[in-house]
């Protein structure tokens, strides 16, 4: 049995811990910082921040029993946590900093797509406010402004007209609303269609798609309100058939891997292409260099293969030797958030659960234990994942069960898969 440390403390990390806890090869699980739900499966270390590379390295050095560290969030990957762990002789799952740039720099990602013929929206890159403002005079609207660096999923502005775009440009490049992430700006064409999250495991040489999923980014029903980290997901995406899945592999995932190899970059970990699909057109909106949140909460419960074996294969470069299988179930996850998220919201509200179906999975995100009670401690509080033979049944089950969750000012979208 091997002991594993998971870095992160959201719903995604809860789903990773849940999945590896089922492996008969995994012994003790540690998680830093973790949350109140993860604490039921793992020894959590809330004193260690997911971004604190020194503290994580010190923890791994002090615990010789840790065989593998799984780095789940974007910032520590971009900051080189895997590089540091490996340099000190430790085993880690996740891309190194040079590969994590695929997510951490939008201009790097766009240039890679252009160079290797991967379909994406037409774009321009700017490092100076004046030239970007000049471009906005002549471009067509709506247009999309993207801060180059990591901005907690908030660095993308969709601007309906020139005035909105000029205001957004000022916010990003002059007021530095996203800090240094806005030193470089990508302006790209606005795309329409439906979105699909195409995640894949990658060992540097082979890329194996996971099952498809779809997120709902806006805070409110009807895709209204602000962009959030994600308010609900379903898997598989019923809008993507087998032929489209094959095209996603042939036209996006494989060419991305080949492009990275040609650039001398070894990508080991989870490669996630956020796609916009319109008719027979597939375009990449963005890459992430990690599992999605809350996509992971619907993907991993459907995984039939041992996740620990997959992590091992990604690190060892043996992904071509294992078969990755999915259960026939469909999954739906509805996120319960604190009222006001993604802007101002209160924390410390007591969470209680009424009767729920026995096979419902509650993945915790912003939860903590205070004076022996379970309380809210973040914007996205938890996700209720339901599995069922069809998406429609999974949706009904998720909504029936989320009614049993209560805390003051709970907010969740009521329209996930409403169209079915
Ligand atoms: P990103 O962080 O690049 O995925 O952008 C966040 C969200 O903004 C996406 O999930 C889309 O909903 C939207 N978005 C990003 N780029 C575009 C685009 N070129 N056209 C339309 N919507 C976009
Ligand atoms: N659910 C979107 C993301 O993880 O970036």
Query: So what's the pLDDT on residue 227?
Result: 87
Q: Show the tokens assigned to 406.
A: 């209560």
How many Å lie between the centroid of ligand 2 and the Cα of residue 89? 30
**What helix, strand, coil percent values describe the chain, rounded to 5?**
30, 30, 35
Ligand closest to Cα of 289 equals 2
Measured from CB, residues less than 6 Å from any atom of ligand 1 are 121, 144, 153, 156, 158, 188, 190-191, 195, 217, 227, 274, 285-286
Residue 267: DSSP 8-state: -
On the CB side of 291, CA atoms within 13 Å amount to: 29
Query: CB within 8 A of 100, min separation 6: which ones?
Result: 74, 77, 78, 94, 289, 290
Give the separation between CA 214 and CA 231, rounded to whole angstroms: 11
> Which tokens in the block code for residue 360?
């419902």
In this prediction, residue 127 carries a pLDDT of: 96
Q: What is the pLDDT of residue 82?
A: 98
Burial class (CB in 10 A: 0-12, 13-18, 19+), 291: buried
Asked if residue 84 lies in contact with residue 61, where contact means CB atoms within 8 angstroms, the answer is no
Q: Could you tell me the CA-to-CA distances from 12 to 238, 317, 413 in Å, in that order?
A: 22, 24, 19
The pLDDT assigned to 155 comes to 86
C-alpha distances in Å from residue 213, one per residue of 53, 63, 85, 246, 308: 31, 36, 31, 15, 21
pLDDT by residue for the chain (420 residues), tens only, comes to 999 999 999 999 999 999 999 999 999 999 999 999 999 999 999 999 999 999 999 999 999 999 999 999 999 999 999 999 999 999 999 999 999 999 999 999 999 999 999 999 999 999 999 999 999 999 999 999 999 999 877 789 999 999 999 999 999 999 999 999 889 999 999 999 999 999 999 999 999 999 999 999 999 999 999 889 999 999 999 999 999 999 999 999 999 999 999 999 999 999 999 999 999 999 999 999 999 999 999 999 999 999 999 999 999 999 999 999 999 999 999 999 999 999 999 999 999 999 999 999 999 999 999 999 999 999 999 999 999 999 999 999 999 999 999 999 999 999 999 999
| CA pair distance 132, 363, nearest whole angstrom | 42
The 8-class DSSP code of residue 326 comes to: B
Hey, whose CA ends up nearest to atom 1 of ligand 1?
286
Q: Whose CA is nearest to atom 4 of ligand 1?
A: 286
Q: Which atom of ligand 1 is nearest to the CA of 286?
A: 3
Nearest to 398 by CA among 384, 414, 382, 412: 384
By CB atoms closer than 10 A (0-12, 13-18, 19+), residue 180 is exposed
Nearest residue (CA) to ligand 2, atom 3: 292
CA dihedral in degrees (235, 236, 237, 243; nearest 10)? 160
CB 353 within 8 A of CB 405: yes
Max CA separation in the chain (angstroms): 62
Beta-strand ranges (E) seen in 292-414 are 330-338, 352-353, 361-364, 367-370, 373-376, 380-388, 405-406, 410-411
Cβ-proximal residues to 161 (8 Å cutoff; 6+ apart), any chain? 141, 142
Ligand nearest to the CA of 119: 1
| Among protein residues, the one whose CA lies closest to atom 3 of ligand 1 | 286
Residue whose CA lies nearest to ligand 1 atom number 14: 285
Centre of ligand 2 from the C-alpha of residue 284, in Å: 14
Q: Which residue has the tokens 């969709």?
A: 158
Instruction: Say how far apart CA 314 and CA 301 lie, in whole Å.
Output: 20
Nearest to 410 by CA among 370, 351, 358: 351
Distance CA 386, CA 297 (A): 10
Length of the chain: 420
Ligand 2 pocket by Cβ (under 6 Å): 153, 215, 230, 288, 292-293, 295
- Predicted local distance difference test score (pLDDT) of residue 152: 76
């Amino acid at each position: 049995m091997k002991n594993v440390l998971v870095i992160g403390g959201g719903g995604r990390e809860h789903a990773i811990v849940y999945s590896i806890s089922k492996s008969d090869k995994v012994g003790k699980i540690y998680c830093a910082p973790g949350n109140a739900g993860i604490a039921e499966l793992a020894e959590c270390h809330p004193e260690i921040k997911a971004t604190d590379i020194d503290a994580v390295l010190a923890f791994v050095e002090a615990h010789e029993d840790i065989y593998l560290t799984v780095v789940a969030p974007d910032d520590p990957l971009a900051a080189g946590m895997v590089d540091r762990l490996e340099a000190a002789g430790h085993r880690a799952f996740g891309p190194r900093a040079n590969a994590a740039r695929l997510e951490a720099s939008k201009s790097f990602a766009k240039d890679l797509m252009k160079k290797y013929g991967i379909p994406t929206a037409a774009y321009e890159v700017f490092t100076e406010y004046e030239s970007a403002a000049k471009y906005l005079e002549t471009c067509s609207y709506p247009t999309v402004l993207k801060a180059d660096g990591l901005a907690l999923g908030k660095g993308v502005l969709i601007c309906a007209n020139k005035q909105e775009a000029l205001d957004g440009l000022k916010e990003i490049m002059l007021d530095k609303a996203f800090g240094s992430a806005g030193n470089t700006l990508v302006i790209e064409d606005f795309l329409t269609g439906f979105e699909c999250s195409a995640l894949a495991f990658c060992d540097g040489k082979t890329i194996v798609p996971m099952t498809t999923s779809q997120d709902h980014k806006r805070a409110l029903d009807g895709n209204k309100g602000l962009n959030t980290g994600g308010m609900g997901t379903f898997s598989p995406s019923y809008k993507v058939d087998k032929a489209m899945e094959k095209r996603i592999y042939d036209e996006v995932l494989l060419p991305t891997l080949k492009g990275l190899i040609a650039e001398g970059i070894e990508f080991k970990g989870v490669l996630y292409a956020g796609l916009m699909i319109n008719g027979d057109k597939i375009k990449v909106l963005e890459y992430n260099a990690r599992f999605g949140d809350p996509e992971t909460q619907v993907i991993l419960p459907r995984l039939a293969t041992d996740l620990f074996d997959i992590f091992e294969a990604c690190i060892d470069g043996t992904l071509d030797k294992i078969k990755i299988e999915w259960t026939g179930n469909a999954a739906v996850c509805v996120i319960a958030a604190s009222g006001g998220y993604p802007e101002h919201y209160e924390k410390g509200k007591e969470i209680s659960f009424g009767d729920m179906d026995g096979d419902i999975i509650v993945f915790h995100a912003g939860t903590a234990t205070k004076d022996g009670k379970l309380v809210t401690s973040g914007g996205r509080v938890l996700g209720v994942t339901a599995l069922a033979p069809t998406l429609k049944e999974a949706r009904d089950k998720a909504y029936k069960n989320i009614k049993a969750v209560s805390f003051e000012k709970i907010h969740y979208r009521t329209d996930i898969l409403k169209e079915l």
